[in-house]
Structure formats: structure tokens, C-alpha cells
Amino acid sequence: MYTAKNALNTYAENNAGIESPEKLIEMLYEGVLRFNAQAKKAIKDGNIEKKSYWANRSIAIIVELISVLDITQKGTIVPYLSGLYNYQIQLLSEALVQNNVTKIDECTNVFKGLLDAWREATDVA
């Protein structure tokens, strides 16, 4: 099974030259977008194995994003992000069970918005 730790390790190994944690978050958001696209294609193709593989990779990244949130910071967007990330996991899980590309699209749209906002806030783009 692909775990959150594996997701982070894979990205770290493949991108040893990453300059900053900000760039890593950007790459994780991009990973969710890529894996969602693959899961959506697998659903359309009727490929159950690949659907599960790609959606679970997206979920693993989102779990990692949750795990790096600093919950000790009061008055920040951390509770909002935690809820948002958890909802995206729920959407992807439902998409797997229901073969529902609309739920994958909803998650993808959220992560596109998050990626755009992250790039704007960090000037990493």
C-alpha cells in the first residue's frame, strides 16, 4: 500500500535538488492534480486496478499534507485546510466506490485553486 510517508519519500528522492519546503508543497499539489487525472482516465477506461492505484496515490499525498499542518498555530487557516483536505479524501474515496469522475473533478478544481493561491503567496511559480 502506498502510504503518506512513501509519497513524501518518493517526491524527496525524485527531487533531491528542491530548494525549499514551499517548492515541495507546490509539487505535492501538482502530484494530486496529475494522479487525479490518471484516476479519472482509469475510471473512464473501466480499469479498476489503475483507478485504485492513482486515487490512492492522491489520497496519500493529501494525508501527508494534513500531517505537516502546524496545529499549534492559533488564528491561522490550519483548521480550514485540515477540513478541506479531509473532505478531498472523502471525495476521492467516494469516487473510487462510485466510479464517479465528477467527484474527482471537484477535488481537482479545489487543488487547482490551492496551487494557484500557493504560487501567488510564495512566488514559487
Label each residue of 74-111 as H, E or C: CCCCHHHHHHHHHHHHHHHHHHHHHCCHHHHHHHHHHH
Indicate the helix (H) or strand (E) that contains 70: none
- Look up residue 3 and give its amino acid: T
User: For the chain, which domains are there?
Assistant: 4-122 (1.20.120.340)
More confident residue, 7 or 71: 71
What global pTM score does this model have? Answer: 0.82
More confident residue, 61 or 73: 61
Answer yes or no: is pLDDT of 70 > 90: no
Contacts 24+ apart (CB under 8 A), 17-21: 20/124
Answer yes or no: is pLDDT of 106 > 90: yes
